[in-house]
A and B are shown apart, each in its own frame.
Chain A
Amino acid sequence: MNGMTGIPLPDYTALPEAVRERSARIEAREVVLDVQSLDKRFGKAGQETEVLQDVSFAVRRREFLCILGPSGCGKSTLIRILGGLEPKSGGSIKVKGREVEGADADRGMVFQEYSLFPWLTLQQNVMFGPKMTGRGGTDKAAEALQWLEMIGLAGRAKSYPHQVSGGMKQRVAIARALANYPGVLLMDEPFGALDAQTRTQMQDHLLQIWRNVDVTIAFITHDLEEAIYLADRILVLDAHPGRVKEIITVPLERPRRREMLLSPYFLATRKRLEELIHTGSGAERDLLPMIRLTQVGDDVE
């Protein structure tokens, strides 16, 4: 990027008026997910590896937070701790003011790998949470059908997961988590296994769902553009150990549109994220120790 001096970019911290107003409205809402000095260490005492160090942030009601970081920075560990699938080594996690321990229905989760229950139809998958917890209304089947309608899959209610595409599976996984009315929806690179085109579609689907459902989202990704396109704020995680490097408010208005990917604000944010993520990992940019295997004069550059 350094060599490219194209269009002059605005300061990514100088938020447009509409974005500043929206941020202020979010700031006024109650905190749903409150993480304070979270630590995570692996290994035996004495020779521990520190994976997460003093991670603190808060997500407010109906906010969309993306957690971004290079591979190996512990972002997956972070979300699995938030979901209660792994124990933390220190610090506190509160959902709506209540300290949480272990997995529960107040933190819904969507995984990267397909995790629908293969033996249940799409409708039964959506009903699973409410049936286990007794949450939701009395007519769980009808309610599940409504969720499927919202994600455009009511017609496939009786299909089994192996009969639908990867994108559809992830949409159902989202509906399944939401059917439990969780306080927070935790998403662990949910579109990582999808092809580029389906992934773009799914991002738009997710924004639509989020607009219509009262849910707060914490979304893990390593894709810069995905983070900017989706999030209100982006938490950038540093690697070794995982620490909060910066929390960026995305200077883009809502509703988000695909054209925004070319707007100066988008590019400015992207540039900043790239700086944050690539500093300290200069190794990746080192030249490979290659010997020349082509004819002299047969150059590509």
Chain B
Amino acid sequence: MHSSARGHGWVLGIASFALPLLVWSAISYLPFLWHPMVRITDPGQVDYFVKDMQIERATFLEENRKLAEAGRIPAQGVRENPVYLPAPHLVAKALFTAFRTPPRLAGDPWLHESLAHSIRIIFYGFALSCLVGIPLGLLCGSVPPASGLFEPFIDFIRYMPAPAFGALAVAITGIHDAPKVAIIFIGTFFQMVLVISNTARNLPKALQQAAQTLGAKSGQIVMHVVLPGILPQLYRDLRILLGWAWTYLIVAELIGASSGISFFINQQAKYRNYANVFAAIIIIGCIGIGTDTLLKYLGRWLFPWEPRR
């Protein structure tokens, strides 16, 4: 049952990517499906039509009807999708060329520089979060009074959306990278403490008791039972929280001086370069799924005793 489920898993995994791509291709390449706009190839005698202008189909037909009634030359055009939905092959081309296209304005970052900047923000924010969140989470999970002291307040802050702290972060830390790191920190830290303290609490008591009856003392139990006991789940928790960090990234980058991949996306949207916008979004997705897959296999190597899920 397991092996067949896994076998089908592959097929389903490919299909889950192929299906959206298929829908996108169909909408892009089959003009009768959607294509609500018309690109003018020949303005004819409509005075405000210009070549290569995109116009709604209803307007286009209406104008041509008027021209036909007046016996004048109608405009020519081809059906198209709106400019914000580029066809797959254009996005594929953009993916291919994005890294080699210099920025439109001298001094603006290249795509790879934007990406590197984003990854740096995530890294600092998340690392800072781990540095404080993991020890505090473990403390709350293993010492009940600590949980009673910290968790209610953390629970309270956790309901405040991290971007709400944006203005405050800028006021306190300036407009450059610091407030962005702060938003990633705020977005992940409070969740992290609660999730990790829960993980620490969920370690079966039987394991610690077994160690006690085998003569282990409290220090030994922490080192040889509690830590290895919760490590795999802790690792999974961090993997999930890293996903959260990416979610907060885009908001964080818009705070203060816009930067990183969000800046790139906004610039490209301003130039109506939607193929590049899509390419950048897809690159974020690839980085996300790539890191997660990497971490998954690293986890299997680190924790060989875990049953495969």
Task: Give Cα A180 to B213, complex, Å.
Answer: 10
Interface string of B225-253 (1 = CB under 8 A from A): 10011011000000000000000000000
CB pair B213–A103 under 8 Å, yes or no, is: yes
CB pair A111–B228 under 8 Å, yes or no, is: no
Task: Give Cα A120 to B224, complex, Å.
Answer: 10
B50-89 interface with A by 8 A CB criterion = none
Closest to B308 in A: A162
The answer to whether A115 and B305 touch (CB under 8 A), given A108-B213, A129-B215, is no
Closest to B231 in A: A119
List B contacts of A287 (CB < 8 A): none
Q: Decide if B173 is an interface residue (CB 8 Å cutoff).
A: no
Q: Decide if A147 is an interface residue (CB 8 Å cutoff).
A: no
Closest to A111 in B: B206
CB pair B214–A176 under 8 Å, yes or no, is: yes
Task: Give Cα A186 to B214, complex, Å.
Answer: 12
Task: Give Cα A84 to B306, complex, Å.
Answer: 30
Q: Decide if B211 is an interface residue (CB 8 Å cutoff).
A: yes
Q: Decide if A88 is an interface residue (CB 8 Å cutoff).
A: no
List A contacts of B282 (CB < 8 A): none
List B contacts of A152 (CB < 8 A): none
Closest to B213 in A: A109
Q: Decide if B209 is an interface residue (CB 8 Å cutoff).
A: yes
Give chain B nearest CB distance to A188 CB in angstroms.
Answer: 10
Interface size on B, residues (CB 8 A): 24
The answer to whether A117 and B228 touch (CB under 8 A), given A135-B215, A162-B307, is yes
Task: Give Cα A107 to B231, complex, Å.
Answer: 29
CB pair B213–A117 under 8 Å, yes or no, is: no
Task: Give Cα A84 to B215, complex, Å.
Answer: 11
CB pair A132–B216 under 8 Å, yes or no, is: yes
Interface string of B12-28 (1 = CB under 8 A from A): 00000000000000000
Give chain A nearest CB distance to B63 CB in angstroms.
Answer: 72
Task: Give Cα A120 to B229, complex, Å.
Answer: 10
Q: Decide if B207 is an interface residue (CB 8 Å cutoff).
A: yes
A79-124 interface with B by 8 A CB criterion = 83-85, 102-105, 107-109, 111, 113-115, 117-121
Task: Give Cα A177 to B216, complex, Å.
Answer: 12
List B contacts of A121 (CB < 8 A): 305
Task: Give Cα A113 to B209, complex, Å.
Answer: 12
Max chain A Cβ within 10 angstroms of own Cβ: one of B211, B212, B220: B212
Closest to B214 in A: A129
Interface string of B258-278 (1 = CB under 8 A from A): 000000000000000000000
CB pair B210–A109 under 8 Å, yes or no, is: yes
The answer to whether A177 and B211 touch (CB under 8 A), given A115-B206, A117-B225, A117-B228, is no
CB pair B214–A118 under 8 Å, yes or no, is: no
Task: Give Cα A177 to B215, complex, Å.
Answer: 10
Q: Decide if A210 is an interface residue (CB 8 Å cutoff).
A: no
Partner of A115, one of B209, B216, B220, B304: B209
CB pair A132–B229 under 8 Å, yes or no, is: no
List B contacts of A85 (CB < 8 A): 209, 212-213
CB pair B213–A177 under 8 Å, yes or no, is: yes
CB pair B209–A132 under 8 Å, yes or no, is: no
Q: Which B residues fall within an 8 A CB radius of A?
A: 204, 206-207, 209-217, 220, 224-225, 228-229, 231-232, 303-307
For the A-B complex with A105-B215, A133-B214 known, give 7 more contacts whose Cβ atoms are closer than 8 Å. Answer: A109-B210, A117-B229, A119-B231, A119-B303, A132-B217, A133-B215, A133-B216
